Structure 1
Amino acid sequence: MQAFRTAARPLAFSARAVARPAALPVRYAHSAAESYDDFNARYADFFSNAQDLFELQRGLNNCFSYDLVPSQRVVEEALRACRRVNDFSTAVRVYEGLKEKTENATQYKQYVDETKALRDELGILLKEELYGSK
């Protein structure tokens, strides 16, 4: 009986190996090349139509997950969406995300300066303005 078990064992392992499906290549919907202008147009449109906080935050998560910095137009639409859903903290977090995504402080300052009029209009303060410069 001992000989039977050792003879059956290799067959069981080989049967498992055969039954296992081969790995298929993963294909993502966003894997097609998209230009920077198309990316910005897509997210500006997304934020201009966002109607609730969950949708807005999901869009911000997706937008900032790419290896690029969104344009000023996208940032402005995101800030307007923050105001539309009445969420001040998310508006402040948009600038925190920009600070992390930009390569240096000069680029971040340019975003802050270019959107100052809109920030004043919507009543949005930066984290630095709320808690002091760090």
Structure 2
Amino acid sequence: MLTITQALYDEIVAHARADHPDEACGVVAGPAGTGRPERFIPMLNAARSPTFYEFDSTDLLKLYREMDDRDEEPVIVYHSHTATEAYPSRTDISYANEPDAHYVLVSTAECGNGEGPVSFRSFRIVDGEVTEEEVRVVTSYAA
């Protein structure tokens, strides 16, 4: 199960809406070994595409060095689908290379970049196998 704060949930959804009609993408980092998403890191979709996302390789290298320096790891890797359901595509599955990460997909197909309903779903993707998991949104993480 993915447990995420309302604030992080809102930031991911806002990014997905803001980048529509292109796919949005980013990472939520957390302290290594905790599995707790804490630091929201929106990334630029280098593909600037409504059907595909790609992290800029220079930005991604910089992000991984920064996470390493801060003793963090990618807890959530997220992106949006602008015209289809929030479910990993074959391409998404082939690019999933963080076996411990939660892969969050937000569909803005119904709302575009305006207010309205979105679909927010989380998956584990390991060795090409996709497993959906429950998403629990909390006010804050209990101590």
Q: Give TM-score, length-normalised by structure 1.
A: 0.30
Q: Bigger relative contact order, structure 1 or 2, given CA contacts below 8 A and separation 6+?
A: 2
More strand by proportion, 1 or 2? 2
Q: Which has the higher helix share?
A: 1
Task: Answer with 1 or 2: which has the greater Rg.
Answer: 1
TM-score between both structures, scaled by the size of structure 2:
0.29
